[in-house]
Amino acid sequence: MLSIPAFAQTPPAPPAIPVIREGAGGDVRTSVAQPETTSQTSGGYARSVEPYLGPLGDPFGLRPVLKERGIQYSLTYIADVLGNPTGGMRQGAVVEDRLNLRLYLDLDTLAGWQGATAHANAYFIHGTGLSRYYVGNLLDVSVIGALPATRLYVLWFDQQLFDGKLGLRVGQQAADSEFFVSQTATLFVNSSFGWPAITSANLPSGGPAYPLATPAIRAKFEPGGGLSFQAGLYDGDPAGASRPGDDAEAQRLNRTGTNFRTHDPALIVAEAAYSYNTEKGSTALPGTVTFGGWQHFGRFDDLRRDTLGLSLADPASSGLPRRQRGNAGLYAMIDQSVLIEPEKDDEGLSVFVRASLSPTRSSLISAYVDAGLAYKGLIPGRDDDTVGAGIAYARYADDARRADTDTILFTGTPIPRRRAETALEATYQALVVPGFTVQPDLQYIIRPSGGVADADGRRLKNATVLGVRATVQY
């Protein structure tokens, strides 16, 4: 329930905020509005429906026995029903679902290897994507959208050193589970609130992010005082698609997630974060400020010029894009809880803002920003429900717009010029029982794919997307 502070008198001291180490991305939780369930890979496993299944919850009694030996497993099933009654390439509806199987090994308990753990994650993906077949937009309307497949996602070994201050992780990893993560944004259905479009569109095969991971080494250092530093060295192309953002072709080239590529140009991602007001007894509101960036060392096609320096739209062009060296970007974000319900530590209002720039000549998206808010426990009697609203904006690079102008000049055909795509989302996640949520969702996509032309040469119309998601965690 929303509380209104009294301004006429000195308000009573707010409740102490305990240390909570269950935030998305593996960080201290500073967003009180982090939802019960999430489809984003950065979100941690929360509660299970097992106690509500009766004798079927654990029919053979294996779970407690395995846990005593350091072996844990979990399942998460997500189903989306989405449709666009207006706008996009054409109108339609889809059903898509994903089953996620996780395996976690505590090697200290299992084999006496102190500070060591191992983790594996596999996906079973079905259905078709609404963005791919109907809306035609860049900011995919569903974060589980992918080609049907059964695939390994991550498989890594982690070693904690110096009393847990330093963590070294080796194996197949995904950058979207630890970098560029907003805890509050894990509520949303649109994919760009997870791994933003500025990275998914600019990096080969969409980068090391769902549904493709890649061999990597990651180090994370937490010296204390709320500071953390992490950096990851990834193979720069999870599938060998060699083309920025070409996620469909990449998924076909790496159908099972077992390519384990190690010879592509490297991708480095680094991040520094400061989490404040998380100490036990703190009465101030918690939050996290993060700064990061990436550098890819491969070569990329020029968006506008060929090998001769001519426009690719020029009839005299060689038709071969000039090659540009590298792709890089910087980002900053803040996750801030702005209101905590009295006598609660996991209900209230949180906000987030993320902004990023990628000025390199190889970037299709040169600027990106998203922002939003979420409130957990807004409705009396529905303490575990979360409501939120967000906006994501991706601006196309100047060279992409100039390439469209060149096409108009050389062909004489009037076509729309790409500018930017914006996604608006409002969503409500309702708890049925712990571990089981239902989430109605509304999105509005402005200028799909930056305003490209449809089959008739006219700009794609803005699209309304309606849907509902069901999530079960076991």
pLDDT tens sequence across 368-389: 999 999 999 999 999 999 999 9
Count Cα neighbours of 453 within 13 Å in the Cβ-side half-sphere.
12
Q: Tell me the pLDDT tens digit for each residue of 238-250.
A: 998 777 866 788 8
Pairwise CA distance, residues 342 & 417, whole Å? 51
pLDDT value of residue 241 = 75
- pLDDT, averaged across the chain: 90
Q: Give the Cβ contact number of residue 156 at 10 Å.
A: 20
**Tokens in use for 41?**
């890979």
Give the model's confidence band at 454: pLDDT under 50 very low, under 70 low, under 90 confident, else very high: confident
Give the start-end residues of each E strand in 377-458. 386-396, 420-433, 436-446
Q: Residue 125's pLDDT band (boundaries 50, 70, 90)?
A: very high
Which is nearest to 130 in space by CA: 84, 87, 99? 84
Residue 291 has pLDDT above 80, yes or no: yes
The CA distance from 349 to 340, in Å, is: 7
The whole-model pTM stands at: 0.90
Q: What is the pLDDT of residue 22?
A: 60
Q: What is the CA radius of gyration of the chain?
A: 23
- pLDDT tens, position by position, 12-64: 333 333 333 467 778 888 899 999 999 888 876 678 999 988 888 888 888 99
At residue 5, does pLDDT exceed 50?
A: no
Joined tokens for residue 314: 């020029």
pLDDT at 246: 64
Cβ burial, residue 68 (10 Å; 0-12/13-18/19+): exposed
CATH number, span 24-473: 2.40.160.180
Give residue-wise pLDDT tens across range 158-187.
999 999 999 999 999 999 999 999 999 999
DSSP 8-state assignment for residue 249? H
Q: How far apart are CA 259 and CA 255, in angstroms?
A: 9
The single-letter code of the amino acid at 304 is R
Distance CA 51, CA 453 (A): 52
Q: What is the pLDDT of residue 222?
A: 96
pLDDT digits (tens, 9 = 90+) for 135-148: 999 999 999 999 99
211 preceded by cis ω (within 30°)? Answer: yes
Give yes or no for a contact between 464 and 86, defined as CB atoms under 8 angstroms apart: yes
Q: Is 182 left (phi over 0), alpha (psi -120 to 50) or beta?
A: beta
Counting every residue, how long is the chain?
474
Determine the pLDDT at residue 257.
94
**66 pLDDT above the threshold of 70:** yes
For residue 112, how many other CB atoms are within 10 A of its CB? 9
Phi-psi region of 163 (alpha: psi -120 to 50; beta: other; left: phi over 0): left
Which residues are registered as beta bridge partners of 348? 340, 376
- The C-alpha atoms of residue 238 and residue 208 are separated, in whole angstroms, by 6
Q: Which residues contact 249 (CB under 8 A, 6 or more apart)?
A: 239, 241, 243
CA distances from 150 to 41, 104, 255 (A): 17, 19, 8
Residue 280: exposure state from Cβ atoms within 10 A (0-12, 13-18, ≥19): exposed
Q: Indicate if the pLDDT at residue 127 is higher than 80.
A: yes
Domain segments of the chain: what residues? 24-473
Q: Is the pLDDT confidence value at 470 over 70?
A: yes
Transcribe 323-390 into DSSP letters.
EEEEEEEEEEEEEEEEEE-TT-SS-EEEEEEEEEE--STT-SEEEEEEEEEEEES-STT-TT-EEEEE
Q: In whole angstroms, give the CA distance from residue 215 to residue 237.
A: 10
> Tokens 């006219």 belong to which residue?
458
Cβ neighbours of residue 224 closer than 8 Å, sequence gap 6 or more: 165
Contact 135, 92 (CB under 8 A): no
